[in-house]
């Protein structure tokens, strides 16, 4: 992957209009032409994923649901644990990304455990009925009813199960004590900058997650943006436990 691949992704990010009447159609419009180049560019933009996935306990014979998992690149962070699990579901509405994921699963020999599901993160239920771990990697900001996605994760998680989220965000004007406070520019610029791609950083993700789950780990950071060396976009990663 090189500059030509990056230019293809940048075209879809900054130039190509996103079209579609449904959320699924808009996702496919956005990702369809960049699916093959998706992972290399996002690896430099989407920070904190390795730390978040590394902080999760993936139990033997457990069930893991990766909501909005796309190409399945997130599975690489825990490839060591996958063979011992009962089921791993990569859930997404973008079929072109799931095709890449299917190829990855087969190439890694995970096809006896991992599977792709074209489904809505606000409604999906694993075949087992409950999950030990549910994750969202830079997908919560792309889900219109993100609160319903969190509620669904809470519903399908076993008591004591873990949720892991890493995503862009902005702080509230008056965040809770001990939390990062962003200035006026960051609170207003990033939601507008991302919105053309139907990505919506929210000041309410973290407060809602902390209301629903017991906090295990929370980090608030900034990430470099490729080709914009002076720009740093806020992101967080959160690991929470469903109350027993």
Q: Where are the beta strands (DSSP E) in 140-204?
A: 157-168
Which has more pLDDT, 63 or 230? 63
Judge whether residue 164 has pLDDT over 90.
Answer: yes
Q: How far apart are CA 13 and CA 125, in angstroms?
A: 31
pTM to 2 decimals?
A: 0.83
Judge whether residue 51 has pLDDT over 60.
Answer: yes
- We report the CATH number of the domain holding residue 150 as 3.40.50.150
> What are 88-142's pLDDT values in tens digits?
999 999 998 999 999 999 999 999 999 999 999 999 999 999 999 999 999 999 9
Range of the domain at 76: 3-241
Instruction: Please give the average per-residue pLDDT across 32-40, as a whole number.
Output: 53
Domains in the chain, number:
1
Q: Which residues are CB-contacts of 192 (< 8 A; sequence separation ≥ 6)?
A: none
CB neighbour class for 7 (10 Å; exposed up to 12, middle 13-18, buried from 19): exposed
């Amino acid at each position: 992957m090189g500059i030509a691949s990056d230019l293809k992704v940048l075209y879809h990010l900054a130039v190509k209009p996103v079209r579609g009447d449904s959320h699924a159609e808009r996702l496919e419009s956005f990702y369809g032409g960049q699916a093959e180049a998706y992972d290399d560019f996002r690896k430099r933009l989407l920070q904190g994923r390795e730390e978040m996935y590394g902080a999760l306990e993936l139990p033997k014979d457990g069930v893991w649901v990766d909501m909005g998992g796309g190409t399945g690149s997130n599975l690489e962070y825990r490839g060591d644990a996958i063979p011992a699990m009962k089921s791993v579901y990569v859930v997404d509405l973008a079929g072109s990304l799931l095709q890449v994921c299917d190829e990855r699963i087969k190439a890694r020999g995970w096809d006896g455990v991992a599977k792709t599901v074209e489904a809505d993160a606000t409604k999906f239920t694993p075949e087992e009925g409950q999950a030990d771990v549910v994750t969202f990697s830079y997908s919560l900001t792309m889900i219109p009813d993100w609160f319903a996605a969190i509620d669904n994760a809470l519903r399908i998680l076993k008591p004591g199960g873990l949720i892991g989220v890493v995503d862009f965000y902005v702080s509230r004007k008056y965040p809770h004590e001990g939390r990062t406070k962003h200035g006026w520019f960051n609170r207003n610029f990033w939601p507008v900058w991302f919105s053309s791609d139907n990505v919506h950083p929210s000041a309410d993700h973290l407060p809602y997650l902390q209301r629903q789950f017991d906090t295990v780990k929370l980090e608030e950071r900034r990430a470099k943006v490729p080709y914009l060396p002076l720009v740093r976009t806020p992101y967080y990663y959160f690991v929470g436990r469903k109350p027993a």
